[in-house]
Amino acid sequence: MHTIRTPDLPSREITDEALYWNRREWLKAAGFVAAALPLAPSTLAATRGDDDELTPWETVTGYNNFYEFGTGKEDPKRNAQGFVTNPWSVEVSGEVKNPRTWDLDDLIRGLAVEERVYRMRCVEAWSMVIPWNGFRLRDLIDRLEPTSKARFVEFTTLHDVRRMPGQRSSILDWPYTEALRMDEAMHPLTLMVTGVYGKTLPPQNGAPLRLIVPWKYGFKGGKSIVRIRFTQRQPLTTWNVMAPHEYGFYANVNPNVDHPRWSQKKERRLGEFFRRDTLMFNGYADEVASLYTGMDLRRNY
């Protein structure tokens, strides 16, 4: 039984999209930016988001990058059907007070679930606006008590060829990993996601647990995470290993620095015709630019 990680809707209560939109409009009028879910008051913390129109559910859950389930955008939805995410274990290791393997429900029990509407942009220059639900990574990190030596945190996706057919191909060096510097991980915008549109996260979006770092390209959003490791040294990350000249560790959106094969100045919001200007730090510069003060963002791409 899913107990707490479905945030927090038994199937009979799942909001259909029309209702969802009504509630969203109402909440907007009432001064909230994003819609609050019908959560118990104790689990509902702040809501935050942006005013851009949401990308429809069908696009959010039907146009995905998740190479473990195929490289086509429509492959994950098809191939991840039936992917079993309960029970789910997460190993916590490295520079941490108590290294251990957790049952996911125990790991996240009691953390405050929030809904956040985030713009997400992919390196291929398409973007979406997605109402995620989850909890702050920093709240989880506080619970895990990393040691003073921890400078980075690494996230590893499940590696199981039987359950993830895309891993039969050697297109990536499995398992998929991502990592953040500790201050990026502790930033209040950084979210561990367990749901979208008020529903449990579908497998193609990285169920049961994925990372969202809204000022980074989508590829910082490691999916179906089974290990969280705190390290002293900067970890290797999948895209950086695969194509080091194209993808750096930081993967910040920088419209002023071209990707070796294309410009990064513009992006296409899925569903729109005209391309938009890509904003520095994906539009979150006010909140996060100070993390990178003094760094050469041309070299640290």
Q: Is the preceding peptide bond at 244 cis, omega within 30 degrees of 0?
A: no
Of residues 140-199, those binding ligand MTE (CB under 6 A): 157, 176
Residue 132 touches ligand MTE, criterion: CB under 6 A: no
Cβ pair 63, 143 in contact under 8 A: no
For ligand MTE, the closer of residues 68 and 114 by Cβ is 68
Task: Show the binding pattern over residues 219-258: x = contacts ligand MTE (CB under 6 A), - = does not.
Answer: x-xxx-----------------------------------
Q: Which of 70, 218, 235, 248 binds ligand MTE (CB under 6 A)?
A: 218
Q: Which of 122, 182, 280, 297 binds ligand MTE (CB under 6 A)?
A: 122
Cβ pair 242, 114 in contact under 8 A: no
Part of the chain binding ligand MTE (CB under 6 A), chosen from 61-69, 97-105, 146-154, 278-286 = 61-69
In angstroms, the CA 134 to CA 29 distance is 24
- Nearest approach in angstroms of CB 220 to ligand MTE is 7
Which residue number has the CB closest to ligand MTE?
Answer: 218
* Cα Rg of the chain, angstroms: 18
Task: Show the binding pattern over residues 64-103: x = contacts ligand MTE (CB under 6 A), - = does not.
Answer: xxxxx-----------------------------------
Part of the chain binding ligand MTE (CB under 6 A), chosen from 63-71, 100-108, 139-147, 269-277 = 63-71
Task: Show the binding pattern over residues 18-57: x = contacts ligand MTE (CB under 6 A), - = does not.
Answer: ----------------------------------------
Neighbours of 38 (CB within 10 A): 12
> Sign (positive/negative) of CA torsion 5, 9, 10, 14?
negative
Number of residues binding to ligand MTE, judged by CB under 6 A: 15
Which residues contact ligand MTE by CB under 6 A?
64-68, 122, 157, 176, 205-206, 218-219, 221-223
